[in-house]
Amino acid sequence: MRRARWAVPLLLVLPAIVVIAAVVLLPLVVSLYSSFTAYTMIHPASLYRWVGWRNYRRLIEDSGFWWAFGRTVVFLTVALNLELLLGLGLALLIAQVTRGQRLLRTVLMFPMMFSPVLVGFQFNFLLNDNVGLLDNALLQIGAIRQPIPWLVNGATANLSILVAEIWMSTSVFAILLLAGLLAMPHEPVEAARVDGCSAWQSFRYITLPFLMPFVYIAMTIRSLDVGRAFDMVRIMTNGGPAGRTELVWTLMATVGFQDGQMGRANAMAYLSIILSIVFTFYFARKLASARAALGDTA
């Protein structure tokens, strides 16, 4: 009787389980297995050449990989926080607009519509130190005497990539946070105003707590989605020069797809997955606590 009660639901979800196993679980298992092999794309038989921990051992000893890993952590942290701040600012400004808000919301989404490859080319052209717009403009107005090689120096190259990424993705935060602001009830803010709260106090103690679930949802989505910046970085510097802007994504793509060393690339991916898990776990916990706090307030 008990078995029969489970059988029907199980039967109903079985197709979903099969599909998920086929499109998620199986590739994960195969890629994990291949990370212990000498798998090279141009020699399919190498998938069966077991090399044990060799790929992982080499990665752990490879300072270049760990620099790329650390740079990716910093890039993620700085980019997401700045995008959040700027996105929040934009959302608050647009929420104040009474006429033409729909048009502004559409304009705001323009950068999101560009493919990262296009953004990469666009910034590459802007920042080219010989024929680029920025250096030529600065030279013309006499602000500099020699062009600045934006994409060569480690600090300016990483900053340039960060600016391009922020330009491309801030609107994601702005749109999500604007949705939160528009969904927010007006009464608490009006009551605070009547009680004599300053604009900052209203924002800090009423608006922001209400927005926090949206913030963490946006953070979670963006932390998983930020990898699409790979195409942009690839066009702008491809991790160079001399590895100065190398991120885990560019390194993996080079090793996996250009070198065809899928075994090693998969080992990199499994080491990097730690990063995704940490970020996702952190934001999921923060989201839960923000929702709980909102519930308590309500």
Question: Of the candidates 254, 270, 275, 284, which one interacts with other proteins according to CB under 8 A?
Answer: 254
Candidates 81-89, 101-109, 150-158, 187-195; binding stretch for other proteins (CB under 8 A): 150-158
Shortest Cβ distance from residue 259 to other proteins (Å)? 4
Candidates 80-88, 101-109, 129-137, 267-275; binding stretch for other proteins (CB under 8 A): 129-137
How many residues bind other proteins (CB under 8 A)? The answer is: 35
Question: Of the candidates 75, 150, 173, 210, which one interacts with other proteins according to CB under 8 A?
Answer: 150
Which residues, numbered 57-96, are part of the site for other proteins (CB under 8 A)?
64
Candidates 95-103, 219-227, 240-248, 290-298; binding stretch for other proteins (CB under 8 A): 240-248
Of 127, 121, 119, the C-alpha closest to 152 is 127
Question: Of the candidates 50, 53, 205, 257, which one interacts with other proteins according to CB under 8 A?
Answer: 257
Question: Of the candidates 76, 90, 91, 151, which one interacts with other proteins according to CB under 8 A?
Answer: 151
37: Cβ contacts below 8 Å, ≥ 6 apart? 46, 47, 48, 49, 50, 51, 263
Kindly state whether residue 44 participates in binding other proteins, applying the rule CB under 8 A.
Answer: yes
Q: How far is CA 229 from CA 164, 165, 167, 216, 280, in A?
A: 9, 7, 11, 20, 18
Cα–Cα dist 130/3, whole Å: 74
Question: Of the candidates 101, 122, 128, 280, which one interacts with other proteins according to CB under 8 A?
Answer: 128
Contact 161, 237 (CB under 8 A): yes
Candidates 178-186, 199-207, 253-261, 286-294; binding stretch for other proteins (CB under 8 A): 253-261
Kindly state whether residue 126 participates in binding other proteins, applying the rule CB under 8 A.
Answer: no
**Closest CB to other proteins among 68 and 166?**
68
Question: Of the candidates 22, 29, 30, 43, which one interacts with other proteins according to CB under 8 A?
Answer: 43
Of 112, 141, 130, the C-alpha closest to 232 is 112
Cα–Cα dist 138/118, whole Å: 24
Compute the Cα dihedral for 179, 180, 183, 185 and give only its sign: negative
Compute the Cα dihedral for 46, 50, 54, 59 and give only its sign: positive
Contact 252, 272 (CB under 8 A): yes
**Continuous segment of H or E residues that includes residue 18:** helix 2-20
Cα–Cα dist 234/18, whole Å: 36
Shortest Cβ distance from residue 70 to other proteins (Å)? 17
The pair of structure tokens assigned to 294 is 């909102």
Candidates 17-25, 107-115, 260-268, 283-291; binding stretch for other proteins (CB under 8 A): 260-268
Residue numbers at the binding site for other proteins (CB under 8 A): 38, 40-44, 64, 128-131, 135, 139, 146-147, 149-152, 236-243, 254-255, 257-262
